[in-house]
Amino acid sequence: MAKEEKIDPFENAKKQIEKAAEKVSLDPNILNQLLMPEKVLVVNFPIRMDDGKIKVFTGFRSQHNKSRGPTKGGIRFHPDVTIEEVMALSTWMTFKNSVIDVPYGGGKGGVICNPKDLSVSELEHVSRGYIRAIAQIIGPKKDIPAPDVYTNQNVMAWMLDEYEKLTGESSPGVITGKPIELGGSLGRDKATSMGAFYVTEKLCELNNKVCKNTSIAIQGFGNAGYYLAKMLYETGHNIIAISDSKGGIYSKKGMDPTEVYHYKNNNGSLKGFPETKNITNNDLLELDVDILIPAALENQITDKNAKNIKAKYVVEVANGPITPKADEILDEKGIMIIPDILSNSGGVVVSYFEWVQNNLGYYWSEEEVMVKLKEKIYKGFDEVHKQSIEHKASFRTAAYILALARLERSMKFRGQA
């Protein structure tokens, strides 16, 4: 009986790095440093809840590598946050920033909590308490947080306000994904989706067959999943399946994501959407479609279900949705995967633009932001494709090879090898 795959996101991240490093004979001194974060902070902070009781929350902030600039990455509020997950996500952020060529290292944070169980007042207290706990290691030139799972611009506004109270200075560049009124960038709300959309366009360009009557299934219908589904639908793609944490819906003839979005908001669930069949998240992953888009959480495709994946192409919008063993199985099946560090990099690119605008004190139009984003994504895709051909490697390994080359150069210039 085959040994069941161990799913540890941090171990998965390290395996992806090692696979690419072996292809290019990376300097072992560089590799050893990239396999571990530079700093991981664990904090326990007390919050007075609405009922007057004190509850202690645990949070993390991981800073993976600073050779290319200050660390950058989101903060997630989720009951299943672990230190290993945060370390993995900060590692992926280093490579994401490097492959798309923005001057950042990788960071990531999280608090173990369920925002759905918190009142607005409690959520604000948790947001401010977490920032107070990590304030010494973040800053516009140190580490720049942003929204992630179950955090949004309102949470970022509270965090920015708390940080500025602590420092006594106006520091809009310490947080990205902020409201426009506090120095946020136009276009940030749909940046991840736009980046994934541009990647899908390039995929279509590379494989002309994909563009004709394309059937698409999207797992995850949050901000990124919804906007991406909407843009793909509006450009002629056929969205035949959508799911969220409660389950999904399927229709061979397709559906309008905007109508699905309004239905979900009114009914609290996708289930029962007219002229669709209710399906599970795993059912969605195994549908016979042209493009499968995992846009939920990590470890959705594993060695248990990879053999059942029928999609011709997978565009990863979630972080780490495919485990290393599953990756090998899909590769053997001839399924082309556009890796997360390229396909979901739109968010960090526009976060970088936001940070630049904060530093300049001069703000761009949404059209300018999108033009610059498209240019960045297209260039990144072309560079990864070039590495894929040169090294006869998958897109994932090629993306890591490209990122490693940039990281190796910056680390050697700093005398770190």
Which of 352, 39, 1, 54 minimizes the C-alpha distance to 191? Answer: 352
- What is the predicted pLDDT for the residue at 298? 80
**pLDDT exceeds cutoff 50 at 92:** yes
Q: What is the share, in percent, of the chain residues with pLDDT greater than 90? A: 88
Which of 23, 19, 41, 21 minimizes the C-alpha distance to 33? Answer: 21
Q: Which of 14, 96, 108, 376 is catalytic?
A: 108
Average pLDDT over residues 280-291: 95
Complete DSSP assignment for 329-351 = HHHHTT-EEE-HHHHTTHHHHHH
- What is the Cα–Cα distance from 72 to 266, expressed in whole angstroms? 36
- What is the predicted pLDDT for the residue at 406? 97
**pLDDT exceeds cutoff 50 at 368:** yes
Average pLDDT over residues 314-320: 92
Q: What is the 3-state secondary structure (H, E, C) of 43-55?
A: EEEEEECCCCCEE
| Residue 332, burial from CB neighbour count under 10 angstroms (0-12, 13-18, 19+) | exposed
- What is the predicted pLDDT for the residue at 1? 39
Q: Which spans in 218-338 are helix H?
A: 223-234, 257-267, 281-285, 324-332
Give the torsion through C-alpha atoms of 127, 131, 133, 134, to 10 deg: 140
Q: Is 108 assigned a catalytic role?
A: yes
Average pLDDT over residues 155-159: 98
**pLDDT exceeds cutoff 50 at 2:** no
Average pLDDT over residues 255-280: 95
Which of 200, 231, 190, 195 minimizes the C-alpha distance to 338? Answer: 200
Pairing outcome for strands 247-250 and 277-279: antiparallel
Please state, rounded to an integer, the average pLDDT across all residues of the chain: 94
- What is the Cα–Cα distance from 97 to 33, expressed in whole angstroms? 17
Give, as one character, the DSSP assignment of residue 233. Answer: H
- What is the predicted pLDDT for the residue at 4? 55
Q: Domains in the chain, start-ordered, CATH in brackets?
A: 40-173 (3.40.50.10860), 191-343 (3.40.50.720)
**pLDDT exceeds cutoff 70 at 211:** no
Tell me the two tokens of residue 395: 């897109």
